[in-house]
Amino acid sequence: MKKKILYMCSFVPYGTLEGAGFDMINIADIQQPVTGNLKLSGNLCSFVNYCQHMDVLAYDGIIFTNCCNSMQRLYDYVTYYYPNIFTYMMEIPRHHPSIQVDDLMVKLAQHFGIKIGCDNRIEPKNQPYTKEHIWVISSAMHKNYKEDLIKLFHENSLIFDTCTSENRGDQLRSNKRSDVSCPRMMNYYQWFEKRIPLVKGLIFMMVGRCDHSMFLYPELKRICSKYACNVLYVEEEFTLRISERSKIRYEAFKECLTIKNGEKL
């Protein structure tokens, strides 16, 4: 039987690990965590509040990512109360090399006795950035929320760069050495500025109480202004569906882009 590994960040090379025989489960794909075993403070980021309701005992291992203090507290809780489950706190690469990603695979191979090597490497496809695309940047986003957003913007093409949906870990291991980044990497602003002139508009969706994303936004807005790129800032609790309040703002942003590009409403 395949070992079930829960993960929370796209820097985990889940395609490579699936090829090695693990059953990789993204917490943002789970419809509804149903247990209330983890009792941390409610004053955490809304994504970690969602994560703390996971059924820990349903998995053979959990891969955390050292992205914020809230996630560190969740990791400490699980490792203390569930010492028999494989846990790993993965550091986000500050630069391009995949040392952190490779260390994770070494630890998994040692713990479960499963060979993970170059034979399991996959070559992910790079997504395009063009004037036909609206760029969606978010920390964590549930797959149902993402599907709602795609339906709402059905006349447009959306590209997503989120903490939970892109295969950054596999791309770091790719022979193509794909150009990937995230807000925790040193090259993020340069990476962002290289792409923003190429797209039709930007949606920046921040989950509630994500301090790092909040501090990031002013510089992203400055870069968008430099290239006259329309940007929508939305703060939303980590949830399965788009709230009615945010839906109104998304609709208004669609109209702004339509008017700017001389299209019919």
Condensed to tens digits (0 to 9), the pLDDT of residues 149-158 reads: 999 999 999 9
pLDDT at 200: 95
Residue range 133-166+187-260, CATH number = 3.40.50.11900
Least confident range from 72-81, 166-175, 209-218: namely 166-175
Checking if the pLDDT of 38 tops 80, the result is no
pTM, two decimals, is 0.87
Query: What topology is assigned to 4-120 in CATH?
Result: Rossmann fold (3.40.50)
Question: What is the DSSP secondary structure assignment for residue 117, as one 8-state letter?
Answer: -
Cα separation, 139 vs 164, in Å, equals 7
CA 129 to chain centre: 18
3 state SS of 181:
coil
Assess contact for 48 and 66: CB atoms under 8 A.
Answer: no
Domain boundaries, the chain: 4-120, 133-166+187-260
Helices (H), the chain: 14-19, 46-51, 69-81, 99-112, 143-152, 168-173, 188-195, 211-226, 244-260
Give the confidence band of 27 by pLDDT, cuts at 50, 70, 90: confident
What is d(CA 59, CA 24) in angstroms, rounded to the nearest whole number? 10
Q: Is the dihedral of CA 154, 193, 163, 173 positive or negative?
A: positive
Same CATH topology for 4-120 and 133-166+187-260: the answer is: yes
pLDDT in tens, 96-140: 557 888 899 899 999 999 888 766 566 666 678 889 999 999 988
H/E element, 138: strand 133-138
Count how many Cα atoms sit within 13 Å of the Cα of residue 227 in the half-sphere of its side chain: 20
Mean pLDDT, rounded, for 208-224: 88
Under 8 Å between Cβ of 61 and 87: yes
The region of weakest confidence among 57-71, 112-126, 244-258 is 112-126
- The pLDDT confidence band at residue 33, using thresholds 50, 70 and 90, is low
pLDDT (average), residues 4-11? 89
pLDDT at 121: 61
pLDDT at 262: 66
C-alpha span between 1 and 3 (Å, rounded): 6
